Structure 1
Amino acid sequence: MEFGLSEEQRGLAATIRTLLARRADSAAVRSATESGPGYDVGLWQTLCGQIGAAALAIPEKYDGAGFTLFETGIVMDELGRSLAPSPLLASVIAAEALLASEDEAARERLLPRIAAGSVATLAWQGPSTAAPGDEPVRAQADRLTGSVCHVLLGDASDVLLVAAETATGQALFEVAPSAVAWTSTPAMDTTLRLAVATFDDTPGVRLTGDAGAALRRAHLAGTAGVAALQLGCARRALEMTVDYAKTRVQFGRPIGSFQALKHRMADMLVQVETTRSVVWAAMYAVATGAPDAEELVHVAASYAGEALHDLAAETIQLHGGIAITWEHDAQMLFKRAHALGQLFGQPHQHRALLAL
């Protein structure tokens, strides 16, 4: 059976694409990365207020749109294509952790804020998110001590969830971002904002329920979300390269007319279309709770990460020297490809998990 987007989903993608074409061109992306929050606050408010991007996968009972994580993946795909920095990935990870928790009071208190556009993030040392500088976060009663590196948009967050070890096992805590000591972490990808969170007898409110299940869901959603961003970046790499090959003239003719380069761009197209198939399959499986969702997410993360790495390198090669200049978007795409590949595990790590 052929799998494709519904008319409503195609409309969502087209709306996001039109908005980003207008508000997230190359100059706007660079300006956003240099701003205080690290993203375009006005664009984020438009995405949330007019389109409901942060609310798509949140149930209507929590003021969400009542769709699924698959629709959120469509938005992430378009965001990846535009290279625009955005809080969406961080907020989705935190929202999915809350939805998988059993703390109804916390869901009723926090999910409407996330749906409305408050930036949320999750600080935890997961299986592929731990860093050498981490000091395990431990909780004594409702006080947290330790540190977590590489927290997405940590110092720009409005809602912060923290995973900590307690005397009875792992637990999730809600912590006021203003109570945390934040240290900004410069990233190779300037569109990615990371920070180190340091907790020193920091007060928190413990969430009830199985923290392990909530964190597994957050990791699954985060990995699938990164794959969707990688799909968008892969599409941008192909489009950018084909457009350049049509206009760059060498030996009196466009370089895109040379057979050898046609073959290379055809290979790029195959990688993009295959990436689309595996990412859509993974996002749909996660959204519907399919029994093979975890396996499909590992497949998508493995293939999308490696494909984007190859496509970004090919984009640099086919553009030539101009691609490594600060003024050209190819260098941004190349950095994004490498940065995304580090967030939730590298391709070889996902393949290793598939082999278990």
Structure 2
Amino acid sequence: LDLTRPLADVTLDGAAATRLADPASARAAVAGALLSGAGLLASEQLGLAEWCLTETVAYVRERHQFNRPVGSFQALKHRLARLWLDVASARAAARAAADALATGAPDAPLTVAVAQAYCSGVAVRAAEECVQLHGGIGMTWEHPAHLYLKRAKADSLALGTAGHHRGLVADFAELPAP
């Protein structure tokens, strides 16, 4: 899906190994690593959404239709204003998650789950808007918009879907699942 982030299989047949931790400590370490990864991924998704918004705004300012910049059309202004609000909210969520992880806050799992549940959708929507509002050029290999869309889609699945993270938020709030 995202060829800019290649994956590999590593096989260690016959390699010498040393046990580093007992099973409980290993599970805790892996859980901590996945939590940190999800928090950092929210920051990547924020950066992706910000790039898409910035590039799209610049493009609709310079692209003209009917002798006017397409960015002056009310329908596009409304779409971009809503996207700007979503990106600003994603910035707050991603920064809160990064701060919670950096300070070892006890509510870090909740903060990261909120950030992932929100930033994931914002990144995908920002990338979709970027491709759409760039028109034909947004669909071509010559423009990087399609790469950002692929990265946003891959990131939305990487360390749990938005639905998974919403489920975690519900668990933290002790809300029953439907």
TM-score scaled by length of structure 2? 0.91
- Give the corresponding residue for 1:220: 35
- Give the corresponding residue for 2:9: 196
The amino acid of 1:345's aligned partner reads G
The SS at the match of 2:15 is strand
Q: Deviations over 1:12-55 (max 9, x none)?
A: xxxxxxxxxxxxxxxxxxxxxxxxxxxxxxxxxxxxxxxxxxxx
Aligned partners of 1:285 and 1:277: how far apart in 2?
Answer: 12
The SS at the match of 2:9 is strand
Q: Deviations over 1:256-308 (max 9, x none)?
A: 11111111100110011000000100110111111110001000001000111
- Give the corresponding residue for 1:207: 20
Aligned partners of 2:85 and 2:12: how far apart in 1?
Answer: 47
Identity over aligned residues, as a percent?
45
- Give the corresponding residue for 2:174: none
* Equivalences for residues 164-203 of structure 1 within 5 A: 188-203=1-16
The amino acid of 1:277's aligned partner reads A
Measure how far apart 1:235 and its partner are: 0.3
5+ residue gaps, structure 2? 172-178
5+ residue gaps, structure 1? 1-187
Where is the strand percentage greater, Structure 1 or Structure 2?
Answer: 1
Measure how far apart 1:353 and its partner are: 1.6
- Give the corresponding residue for 2:106: 291
2:26 matches 1:248:
no
* Equivalences for residues 111-130 of structure 1 within 5 A: none
2:127 matches 1:324:
no
Measure how far apart 1:343 and its partner are: 1.3
Aligned partners of 1:253 and 1:189: how far apart in 2?
Answer: 36
- Give the corresponding residue for 1:131: none
The SS at the match of 2:10 is strand
Aligned partners of 1:201 and 1:349: how far apart in 2?
Answer: 37
Q: Deviations over 1:218-258 (max 9, x none)?
A: 01110011111001001001001000000000011100111
Larger RCO, structure (CA 8 Å, separation 6 or more) = 2
Aligned partners of 2:110 and 2:62: how far apart in 1?
Answer: 42
Q: 2:45 aligns with which of 230, 238, 262?
A: 230
* Equivalences for residues 27-42 of structure 1 within 5 A: none
Aligned partners of 1:208 and 1:196: how far apart in 2?
Answer: 24
Q: Please provide the CA RMSD for this pair.
A: 1.1
Q: 2:123 aligns with which of 303, 308, 319?
A: 308
Aligned partners of 1:343 and 1:205: how far apart in 2?
Answer: 29
Q: 2:91 aligns with which of 267, 273, 276?
A: 276
2:81 matches 1:266:
yes
The amino acid of 2:168's aligned partner reads L
- Give the corresponding residue for 2:54: 239
Q: Deviations over 1:61-95 (max 9, x none)?
A: xxxxxxxxxxxxxxxxxxxxxxxxxxxxxxxxxxx
Q: Deviations over 1:159-197 (max 9, x none)?
A: xxxxxxxxxxxxxxxxxxxxxxxxxxxxx2122121122
Where is the helix percentage greater, Structure 1 or Structure 2?
Answer: 2
Aligned partners of 1:328 and 1:261: how far apart in 2?
Answer: 20
